[in-house]
Structure 1
Amino acid sequence: MQICKKIREIRGNESQSSFAERFGITARTLQNYEYGNTSPSIDFIQKISQEYDIAPEYFFDYGEKLFRNSSAIVPQYSSSMQKKGSSISKTNITHTNSSPQTLNDDFVSIPFYEDVRASAGSGAYNEAEAAEQLNFPKSFLRQYFGIISFANLSIIIGSGDSMFPTLPENCYLVIQQGNVKEGEICVARIEDELYVKRLQKLPKLKLFSDNKVYEPIELEGKNFEIIGRVVGYFKKTSL
């Protein structure tokens, strides 16, 4: 369902003028939103989401269900990821396009590797290709994940508890290939397996789990590659 139709459905029988006034916009602006003439602002999406207890992601092609539990989807800013991986099944996320496929000036399409899942500890081996593209407003990615560049993004599913409490189980991880700074959560390849861990560069190159039950992984002497950083996550549940 298109965003314009979702807004119209939520408004129900309330008049456009009354509905628009409640959210600080004009009736004409609401009409443009509902007719699909203009894209709704992130401020409007945030307000309507809070008012009706709907996750903002509902409006952006993550599915057709409303998520009424506000804790069901919890975006994290990239800065929060720097404070403190679970392993991941093998995939070809290193071969995503250097520039994203754009739908228009406001949206970006990100490859989603549905079969790639994090596992606590040793990791699984799977060959996987991007099953689909998930569409995001650029303003949403800036607001919730602090993303400035939209190149080299991909999404995988994380499960297991080696990065708990920073990353919950069964969450969608947004990954950006490129340089990873000290202390950031990264995706690293060791031999034929991928891991989501926190990177330590000094005094020795190591990968750490936020769940202290798991031992650090030393990278020196291993065949490894630091692929990119986890810029955030979202969590999705059904009613």
Structure 2
Amino acid sequence: MNISQKIKNAREAKNLTQLELAKSSGVSLDSIKRYETKESNITIHNLIKIAKVLDIDLNYFANVPKLSLSLSSKMSLSQDKYVPKLENQQETLNDDMINIPFFENVRASAGSGTYNDEESTQALGLSKSFLRECFGLYSFINLSVILGQGDSMAPTLPENCYLLIQQGEVAEGEICVTRIEDELYVKRLQKRPKLKLLSDNKAYEPINLEGENFEILGHVVGYFKKTTL
């Protein structure tokens, strides 16, 4: 089943019209119609909005078999441990494996903004015990993996690493993924005295969010980095 049919089926299961879904999610009606009628690219922030209204997990949209990942394969692992926000969704800790949508072509820029308009092409199969031990996670919902580009968050985040992000509230000083217009940025959030996005690389100027069309999508809980074995 393709992503268009999945969105339509989930909407109809909630007894919502396309207009009602558009109003509740904040995604335009034209976009909803386009997503449901053809294999149209969908941004991750729109997918998150739609999934929230339809009360379904992002894993529902991951339409390929899971890809197992371990430290002995092609990636190494950071151990950045940010405390996630718990969401109101059931979890079964005894069921250790989860699939995390991997948006291979969605890029959040750690430099200038990058346009993002892709859908999930695969999923990463990871264990909850692995995520708890390595990332300090105890809530495993609304997770996704996207590619981070640029060097503005160096040395905290290396260039071209895979970011593990979790949708939800972002605290002062946490690294977050923010949409400004149709571009995604990965920066550190400053809430006071003014709302800004800060770079750990001081060669980059802060981004003032006041007056911008923006949405803070979630915080970065860690990253994966490809290595050559």
Partners of 1:148 and 1:65 lie apart in 2 by: 24
Deviation (angstroms), 1:237: 1.9
| Cα separation, partners in 2 of 1:235 and 1:80, compared to 1, 3 Å | farther
2:77 aligned counterpart, secondary structure: coil
Runs (5+) with no aligned partner, structure 1:
1-59, 82-97
* Residue in 1 that maps onto 2:120: 130
> In the alignment, residue 100 of structure 2 is paired with which amino acid?
I
- Answer yes or no: is 1:75 the counterpart of 2:75: no
Q: Deviations over 1:173-227 (max 9, x none)?
A: 1000001000000011111111100000011100001011110001111111111
Q: Is the 8 A contact 1:100 1:150 kept in 2?
A: no
Partners of 1:166 and 1:219 lie apart in 2 by: 22
Q: Deviations over 1:83-130 (max 9, x none)?
A: xxxxxxxxxxxxxxx96999x701111000101223443222231101
Correspondences of 1:46-65 after superposition (within 5 Å): 61-62=68-69
Runs (5+) with no aligned partner, structure 2:
1-66
| Cα separation, partners in 2 of 1:131 and 1:64, compared to 1, 3 Å | farther
| Cα separation, partners in 2 of 1:79 and 1:64, compared to 1, 3 Å | closer
1:143 aligned counterpart, secondary structure: helix
The CA RMSD measured in Å over matched residues stands at: 2.7
Structure index of larger Rg: 1
2:170 pairs with 180, 199, 216, which one? 180
Partners of 1:74 and 1:126 lie apart in 2 by: 25
> In the alignment, residue 232 of structure 1 is paired with which amino acid?
G
Q: TM-score, normalised by structure 2?
A: 0.63
| Cα separation, partners in 2 of 1:184 and 1:193, compared to 1, 3 Å | same
Partners of 1:156 and 1:128 lie apart in 2 by: 11
Partners of 1:170 and 1:122 lie apart in 2 by: 14
Partners of 1:100 and 1:175 lie apart in 2 by: 19
- Higher relative strand content: 2
Partners of 1:233 and 1:126 lie apart in 2 by: 19
